[in-house]
A and B are shown apart, each in its own frame.
Chain A
Amino acid sequence: MLLVDHVPVTAAAAAASVWRQRALVEHEAARRFAALARGLAALGWHDLAARATAAADDERDHVGRCGAILDALGAAAPLPAPTGPPVPLGPATLAAGPRVLYAAVAIGCVTESLACALLAALAERAEHPVVARTVAAIQRDEVEHARLGWAVLARCAGEQDVAWLGAHVDAMRAAAVADDVAAGPGRADLAGFGVLAPAEVGAVVSATWGAVIAPGLARYGVSPPPPAGPGPRR
C-alpha cells in the first residue's frame, strides 16, 4: 500500500529523503561493523568478532527495510551506497588495538545506543504499519549492536586503562549526531513516518547521553575533559 495515498506528497517526499539517507547510513554501518569484526578477530576476540559480523549482516538487512519504506512512500529508486573503502574511525595516530576500541565505543556505545533511544521514541509515534514494523525490527538489532560496543569496552577495561578515550568522547558524540541524527528535514509533522522533529531528537539525545551513555562510559573511567575555561585573565 502506498502511504502517499493518505498524505501530502510533500510530506512523503520529505520523509523519503530521510529514509534514503538512513539507507546510506545503514550501508556505512555494515562496512564499519565488518571492519570492527576484522579488528576484533585480530585481537583474538572471536566471540565478539562473530557478533560484529552478525551486526554487519543486520545492517545490510536494514538497508532493505529502508527500501521497503521508500517503496511505500512512492519513492522507489536505486538506493544509495557508499563508495570507496570505509573511513577508519578515530585519530590516525592510534595503534591498531586502541583503534578497535575506539571504533567499538564510537559505533556501539555512542551511535547505536543513541539509535536505540531514538527508535524507541519513534516506535511510540509511528503511525503506518510498514514504518512501525521497520522501526521495531531495526531497534531489536540496534540493542544488540549497542551491547556489543559496551561488551568490547568492558573487556578492554578489564585488561587496561581506557581513560584515554575520554579525550575523544565529544568527537564521537558529534559524529553520531551528524551522521545518524541530524539528517532530518527540520519538520515537525513527520513522526508518523518515522521522522522525529529536530527538537524531539535533541531532547532524546540529551536525555540518553546524560542518563545512559555518559554514566556508562564513566563506569569504565571514561569521561570527557572539562570544557576549556576562558583562559588566564590579564
Chain B
Amino acid sequence: MPTPYGQAMQLDRWFHVLVVMGGAAACDTATDDVRRDVPDALPTADDAGPADDASPADDASPADDAAASADAGDDLAPCFCDQGACCDRSQTPAVVAPGFACCWSTTCP
C-alpha cells in the first residue's frame, strides 16, 4: 500500500529540516539572539554539529527573502509550499511565495 507520506523526497526534506538544521543550530550558544527563523540564529558552516556526514555549508545557509516571510508569523497564510520546489536543495535558492509563511519553520536553504 502506498503510504500517504512515503515519498522519498518528502522524508528527505523532513530529515534535513528537523535533524540537520535542528542539530546544527545546537552549536549556536548565544543566549540573547536565538530566535526562530532569524538568519542570525542559524548556523554557519563553522557551526557544524558533531555528525561527520552533515554538510552544513549546503544544509544550513539561510535565504534572506524566505526568512522575511517566515518571520512574519500569523499575518501570512500558511503555505505547504510547492513541495516539488520549496526546500528542495536541488533548486536553491528555494523561496516561500510572497504572502505565505513557511510551514516548515525554516528559511529554505
A residues engaging B (CB < 8 A)?
46-48, 50-51, 108, 113, 116-117, 120-121, 123-125, 133, 136-137, 139-141, 143-144, 146-155, 157-158, 196, 199-200, 203-204, 206-208, 211-212, 215-216, 219-220
A120 — which chain B residues lie within 8 A by C-beta?
5, 10, 14, 80
B67 at the interface (CB under 8 A from A): no
A212 lies within 8 A of B15 (CB): yes
Tell me the nearest residue of chain A to B78, going by C-beta: A136
B11 lies within 8 A of A196 (CB): no
A203 lies within 8 A of B23 (CB): no
> A47-B28, A207-B6 known; A219 and B22 CB under 8 Å?
no
Among residues 47 to 78 in chain B, which have CB atoms less than 8 Å away from a CB atom of chain A? 49-51, 53-54, 74, 78
Tell me the nearest residue of chain B to A197, going by C-beta: B4
| B5 vs chain A, min Cβ distance (A) | 4
B19 at the interface (CB under 8 A from A): yes
B97 at the interface (CB under 8 A from A): no
> A136-B80, A220-B51 known; A150 and B19 CB under 8 Å?
yes
B107 at the interface (CB under 8 A from A): no
**How big is chain B's contact interface, by range?**
35 or more
B101 lies within 8 A of A158 (CB): no
B17 at the interface (CB under 8 A from A): yes
B31 at the interface (CB under 8 A from A): yes
Q: Which has the most chain A C-beta neighbours within 10 Å: B3, B17, B19, B31?
A: B19
| B98 vs chain A, min Cβ distance (A) | 18
A157 to B54 CA separation, bound complex (whole angstroms): 14
A189 to B23 CA separation, bound complex (whole angstroms): 38
B14 lies within 8 A of A117 (CB): yes
> A117-B14, A154-B49 known; A146 and B1 CB under 8 Å?
no
Tell me the nearest residue of chain A to B30, going by C-beta: A47
A141 — which chain B residues lie within 8 A by C-beta?
105
B22 lies within 8 A of A149 (CB): yes
B49 — which chain A residues lie within 8 A by C-beta?
154, 157-158
A50 lies within 8 A of B5 (CB): no
> A203-B4, A203-B6 known; A151 and B26 CB under 8 Å?
yes
